[in-house]
């Protein structure tokens, strides 16, 4: 019976999380529901009273979570992360839950949080954006030093590449350069600014990582060239020059990917 209960709860939470993009009414209630797997996190529970007005159902969902705590797996938690970026209510609570995921010691949960970082930007202001981006970039740097987390660096690089669609760096894209994330910028009304120092610091390290990290570098470099003006990138000429080591890659696919990026430059 416990296995059936666990599978049922997982399916229910996953289903609710999947339709949050379409929610127009009672979004506060659905946010409370998908928060259920997180309501055993001490930092979140300690602050529940603060959200009584914004999320009136949250305290009842918390009581429910106490009864099904044994069924709340990492997979169930991970299934709620994409929905956090789609709902447009109570950004403070969603940010707290997202940070709980982003600071998790569980690599699978952390990776899911990193991968969905770009969609979370739909509901952050500039200060929050810089704060969360610093967290994401930290994980990328840390992953390069740990063999068991090596794949996380690639996820960070690719997430940051998609994030650049939401920044404003004096460059207007041609129609054939606009991706789905760029199209979302108009809807999201995001026009964020970004400090590139930490991004290039990560790139300089990642070009010496494994192939997945190097491919992530290529994707991030391509996004930088698409979204950041030449006058801004020129300040990072030395850092860009460090990536030329990828021209000597023995892996033909990787070398071709980098050559394509350089051709755009």
pLDDT digits (tens, 9 = 90+) for 112-147: 999 999 887 766 777 788 888 999 999 999 998 887
In a domain, 94, yes or no: no
Whether residue 135 sits in one domain with residue 233: yes
Q: What is the pLDDT of residue 40?
A: 83
In this predicted structure, which of 40-49, 93-102, 174-183 has the lowest mean pLDDT?
Answer: 174-183
Whether residue 30 sits in one domain with residue 140: no
Query: Six-digit token pair at 258?
Result: 């980098």
Confidence of residue 184 (pLDDT cuts 50, 70, 90): low
Q: What is the pLDDT of residue 188?
A: 47
In a domain, 137, yes or no: yes
Domain containing 250: what range?
A: 116-265
User: Cα angle vertex 103, ends 100, 104, to 5°?
Assistant: 85
Whether residue 129 sits in one domain with residue 250: yes
pLDDT digits (tens, 9 = 90+) for 13-42: 776 666 566 555 678 888 888 898 998 888
Which of the 8 DSSP states describes residue 251?
Answer: -
The residue written with tokens 């200060």 in the block is: 127
Name the average pLDDT for the chain.
Answer: 82
Q: What is the pLDDT of residue 187?
A: 47
Q: What is the pLDDT of residue 55?
A: 92
pLDDT digits (tens, 9 = 90+) for 194-246: 889 999 999 999 999 999 999 999 999 988 988 888 888 889 989 888 898 88
pTM metric for this prediction: 0.84
Structural domain count, the chain: 2
Per-residue pLDDT for 179 more than 50?
yes
Whether residue 198 sits in one domain with residue 144: yes
Give the relative orientation of helices 91-102 and 74-86 as an angle to the nearest 10 degrees. 140
Whether residue 233 sits in one domain with residue 148: yes
Q: In Å, how far from its chain's centre is CA 148?
A: 20
Whether residue 252 sits in one domain with residue 174: yes
Whether residue 139 sits in one domain with residue 62: no
97: how many CB neighbours lie within 10 A of its CB?
Answer: 24
In a domain, 111, yes or no: no
Return the bridge partners of 192, or none. Answer: 167
17: how many CB neighbours lie within 10 A of its CB?
Answer: 23
Q: CA dist 72 to 28, 94, 208, 238, Å?
A: 21, 19, 38, 48
Whether residue 254 sits in one domain with residue 130: yes
């Amino acid at each position: 019976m416990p296995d059936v209960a666990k599978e049922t709860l997982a399916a229910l939470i996953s289903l609710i999380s999947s339709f949050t993009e379409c929610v127009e009414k009672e979004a506060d209630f659905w946010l409370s529901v998908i928060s259920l797997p997180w309501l055993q996190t001490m930092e979140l529970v300690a602050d529940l009273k603060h959200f009584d007005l914004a999320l009136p159902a949250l305290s009842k969902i918390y009581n429910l979570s106490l009864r099904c705590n044994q069924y709340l797996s990492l997979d169930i938690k991970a299934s709620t992360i994409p929905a956090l970026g789609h709902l447009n209510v109570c950004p403070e609570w969603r940010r707290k839950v997202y940070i709980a995921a982003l600071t998790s010691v569980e690599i699978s949960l952390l990776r899911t949080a990193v991968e969905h970082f770009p969609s979370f930007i739909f509901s952050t202001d500039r200060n929050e954006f810089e704060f969360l981006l610093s967290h994401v970039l930290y994980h990328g740097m840390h992953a390069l030093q740990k063999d068991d987390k090596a794949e996380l660096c690639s996820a960070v690089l690719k997430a940051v590449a998609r994030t650049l669609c939401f920044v404003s760096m004096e460059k207007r894209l041609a129609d054939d350069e606009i991706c789905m994330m760029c199209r979302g910028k108009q809807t999201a009304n995001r026009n964020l600014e970004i400090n590139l120092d930490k991004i290039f610091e990560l790139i300089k390290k990642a070009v010496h990582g494994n192939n997945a990290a190097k491919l992530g570098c290529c994707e991030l470099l391509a996004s930088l060239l698409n979204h950041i003006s030449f006058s801004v990138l020129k300040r990072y000429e030395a850092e860009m020059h460090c990536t030329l080591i990828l021209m000597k890659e023995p892996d033909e696919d990787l070398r071709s990917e980098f050559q394509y990026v350089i051709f755009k430059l």
